[in-house]
Amino acid sequence: MRTLLIGSGGREHALAWKLRQSPKLTKLFIAPGNGGTVLEGQNIMLDPSDHGSIVDFCRKESIDFVVIGPDAPVVAGLSDDVQAAGIACFGPSADAARLEGSKSFTKILCDAMDIPTARYRSFDNEAEALDHVNATGAPIVVKADGLALGKGVTVAETVEEAEMAIHTCFSGAFGDTDMSVVIEECMVGEEASLFVLCDGTTTLPLGTAQDHKRVGDGDKGPNTGGMGAYSPAPVMTEEMTERVMREIIAPTVKGLAARGTPYRGVLYAGLMITDEGPKLVEYNVRFGDPECQVLVMRLKSDLLDLLYATATGELVDKTAEWRPEAALTVVMATRGYPASYEKGSTIRGIRNLNSDTVQIFHAGTRRSASGYAANGGRVLNVTALGADVSQAQARAYAAVDRIDWPEGFCRRDIGWRAVEREKSLP
């Protein structure tokens, strides 16, 4: 199967690494890819926002299947345009992708389908949003309504923080997302993620994971696109997963189908496990980054087969097999991230780190004369397997410590919740 993978981040390197293992794959192109994806297939300099060029390339190269990695091309309707050209595509329609493209849309769907989530109000007027925050008080959550590269959510501990977040959203900081905000109650509990494949009718639960959004140890500092993750998430027991599927996923799929926008792709449900049960924090319409990296390390099944069945409505007889080990990934970022940072610093010491238990997935890298150079904020995903999260964590940080990159940094406590649980076991 000749396959085109869209994207350039660590998620896409992880997907490419796993897709390349499929016996059904005959050729893999990655557009545009990064310094690491060249190890898995052929990088192609295509702009994901130029749908016409992507369709032309698919016709020229006889592409059988397109897999969309990032959120922006999905929300912009790339899947619609590829499928209109008669090519199978993994990724929901633009209408269904409003689950991520508009937090207000998701909240309205939750209201209609009685899906448990935080109490909220939406505002397209800055002054009214500020009045609401002052009347409600803190802690409170402020969310840019649309896409914001994972940085549009502020959990404000004070009214002043909430006011600053509102000003940021309406200032144009997030591009097209700056004209409205969703303001929510601050839910209390433990966050986790559940990934589910859906072909419009059939749903197939995949793995669970727990992300670390804050930039600093101890979950301090501003939110980022993600500084690390591990899988499985212990809080997502079999019973809890079944409850999420019944109370959150099933009514979502039913509600979208009833609107005439059946969902085909991966549903990434961000959850808060509260004393009252699971509640939806938000939906994403693509694999998480860096959650994808830990999921593919644990997945035994043929990923290409699963994604193609999802795209073509043939998921009903499919199952997903998983390795029993835990997986953990540590994101190495350029100093200054998530604020301003400089590109071009040299990275050494990563060529010989890959093994049966460790994989280095590239995110913001490019090839250079001396090996690799940093080309973004989040740059490397150091990912490891272990008998439990503690062992996976030890292996990942042992690999991190062998990488020579003075301009880089990482959190040193990824997986801390699971490690504390494991230490308390008899």
pLDDT of residue 176: 55
pLDDT digits (tens, 9 = 90+) for 270-285: 999 999 999 999 999 9
pLDDT digits (tens, 9 = 90+) for 312-354: 999 999 999 999 999 999 999 999 999 999 999 999 999 889 9
Using DSSP's 3-state secondary structure scheme, residue 22 falls into: coil
Type and span of the H or E element at 99: helix 98-101
Q: Tell me if 396 is assigned to some domain.
A: yes
Residues 268 and 366 in one domain: no
Residues 224 and 276 in one domain: yes
Residues 299 and 377 in one domain: no
Compute CA 213 distance to the chain's CA centroid, rounded to the nearest angstrom: 11
Report whether pLDDT(397) > 80: yes
Q: How far apart are CA 69 and CA 85, in angstroms?
A: 19
Q: Tell me if 173 is assigned to some domain.
A: yes
pLDDT of residue 376: 95
Strand extents, DSSP E, 157-312: 181-185, 190-199, 203-211, 214-216, 220-223, 228-231, 264-274, 277-284
Residues 196 and 301 in one domain: yes
What's 134's domain CATH number?
3.30.1490.20
Q: Tell me if 109 is assigned to some domain.
A: no
Residues 290 and 335 in one domain: no
Last residue of a domain, one of 257, 283, 311: 311
Report whether pLDDT(108) > 80: yes
Q: How far apart are CA 78 and CA 69, in angstroms?
A: 11
Range in 161-170, 174-183, 237-246, 362-371 the model is least confident about: 174-183
Q: Tell me if 354 is assigned to some domain.
A: yes
Residues 155 and 204 in one domain: no
Report whether pLDDT(59) > 60: yes
Mean pLDDT, residues 156-160 taken together: 90
Q: How far apart are CA 3 and CA 216, in angstroms?
A: 38
β-bridge partners, 74:
none
Q: Tell me if 112 is assigned to some domain.
A: no
Last residue of a domain, one of 311, 340, 370: 311
What's 86's domain CATH number?
3.40.50.20
What's 194's domain CATH number?
3.30.470.20
Of the pLDDT bands very low, low, confident and very high (cuts 50, 70, 90), residue 148 is low
Residues 195 and 304 in one domain: yes
Q: Tell me if 321 is assigned to some domain.
A: no
pLDDT of residue 149: 61
Residues 195 and 281 in one domain: yes
Average pLDDT taken over every residue of the chain: 94
The residue range of the domain holding 275 is 190-311
Q: How far apart are CA 409 and CA 378, in angstroms?
A: 10
Report whether pLDDT(173) > 90: no
Type and span of the H or E element at 358: strand 358-362
Asked whether the bond before 92 is cis by omega within 30 degrees of 0, the reply is: no
Residues 195 and 302 in one domain: yes
Q: Tell me if 338 is assigned to some domain.
A: yes
Q: Tell me if 184 is assigned to some domain.
A: no
Residues 201 and 306 in one domain: yes
The total number of structural domains in the chain stands at: 4
Residues 230 and 255 in one domain: yes
pLDDT digits (tens, 9 = 90+) for 83-106: 999 999 999 999 999 999 888 999
What's 407's domain CATH number?
3.90.600.10
Residues 197 and 304 in one domain: yes
Last residue of a domain, one of 69, 93, 117: 93
Report whether pLDDT(259) > 60: yes
